[in-house]
Amino acid sequence: MDWTPRAYDLADRVTRPDSPWRAPIAATPRHAFVPRWWRYTADGWALQDGPADEEAWAAAAYSDRTLVTQVGSLHADHATPADRPTGRPTSSSTLPGLVVQMLEYAAITDGDTVLDVGTGSGYGTAVLCSRLGSGRVTSIDIDTYLTKAAGERLTEAGHQPYLVTGDATGPLPGVVDRIVAMVSVRPVPASWLEALPTGGRLATTLTNTSMILTATKTDDGGAVGRIERDWAMFMTTRTGADYPARDQAALERARTADGEVVTPARYPVLDLLETWEVRSMLEMMAPDIEHHHEVDGDTRTAIMLHADGSWARAVQVAGGQPIVHQGGPRRLWDLLDEVRAYWLQHGQLPLHGALARVSPDGTIRLRRGQWSASIT
């Protein structure tokens, strides 16, 4: 494949002309890190084999989009065309524009040492190596196959960073100037703060939110920073081969049961999988809500589930007033209404632009005007 012109074109689309990441993007053969991937279709996840269709491979690899490489525990490298995995994505090659965005938020300079959290396909690691040199880059992932395959592909591309297989929220090897995460966490792992010197910087997203946290290590062992006025969402860190299985029985109950409380909704049904800012604010109030959104003709249904047994279902037909069913110890839809009422009253939500103080144990305290919140 004549990939160089495509990589230059990609660099032109995802970086500014004066960006220090322009040359690394142009010099990195992304297709080599994603020879096979998964594409979501009407029939579920379908395997895409790059070498079998080189033009489609090049078009996908040098597009500014995420390519899912693993669903559940099944990596595309190990799949057959007949496979239709049904789990959640567990690894990917992040869209290059977002890779650049996070690297820029980490404020990496020439000569810095960097910990890349979430090796994935190895593409982002290669971009780091292209600018800094392999000796200044460490990358960590929980999945043995991911670090093995990425290591082989990085070597073929001329890079040999230090690759670690392990839990990125646990102890880390050595001290680095910058930590940049292509996965989300909540709270900030204490080990990250321990791995940074005073003045070192981290850039990450917070689990189940669109919030990008940047923070600089302070001499008390914590960090200060802010929630950037920007949006990004990543897979959350995991400790095993897959995320815990979803409770399908609980989902079916929420989809069909009569609620303990049944009321008309104050506002139209939202797709909280796409309404990132509202979902992020709700996450501050009730962490770890599972969201589902279903469309059947002119009927829209939103479902929320929580591990504590709380659930809500809102159904809206043809633009009419939705009806909400709620059950369990908390009224999840009422919390969502509080978020939407705040938005209407203030004209915005307070998350993006909030000041952040991170304690040495990783607890995040946010403040913007009269609003404050803690993330533990």
Which residues of the chain are under the pLDDT cut of 70? Answer: none
Q: C-alpha angle 15/95/291, rounded to 5°?
A: 135
- Cα separation, 334 vs 340, in Å, equals 10
Query: 292 phi and psi, to 5 degrees?
Result: -135, 145
Q: How far is CA 287 from CA 246, 280, 282, 302, 325, in A?
A: 16, 9, 8, 18, 20
Report pLDDT for 87: 87
- Cα separation, 162 vs 244, in Å, equals 29
Could you give the residue numbers annotated as active site? 91
77's CB contacts (< 8 A; 6+ apart) are 35, 36, 69, 145, 149
Query: 304 phi and psi, to 5 degrees?
Result: -125, 135
Report pLDDT for 69: 98
Q: Are 41 and 47 in contact (CB under 8 A)?
A: no
Q: How far is CA 350 from CA 214, 251, 339, 366, in A?
A: 16, 31, 10, 10
Radius of gyration over every alpha carbon of the chain, rounded to an integer in angstroms: 22
- The structural domains of the chain, ordered by start, are 4-227 (3.40.50.150), 248-346 (3.30.160)
C-beta neighbour count of 152 within 10 angstroms: 11
- Cα separation, 231 vs 227, in Å, equals 10
- Cα separation, 331 vs 158, in Å, equals 55
Report pLDDT for 141: 96
Q: For residue range 142-191, list pLDDT tens digits in order.
A: 999 999 999 999 999 999 999 999 999 999 989 999 999 999 999 999 99
At 345 the three-state DSSP class reads: helix
The region, left, alpha or beta by phi > 0 then psi within -120 to 50, assigned to residue 112 is beta
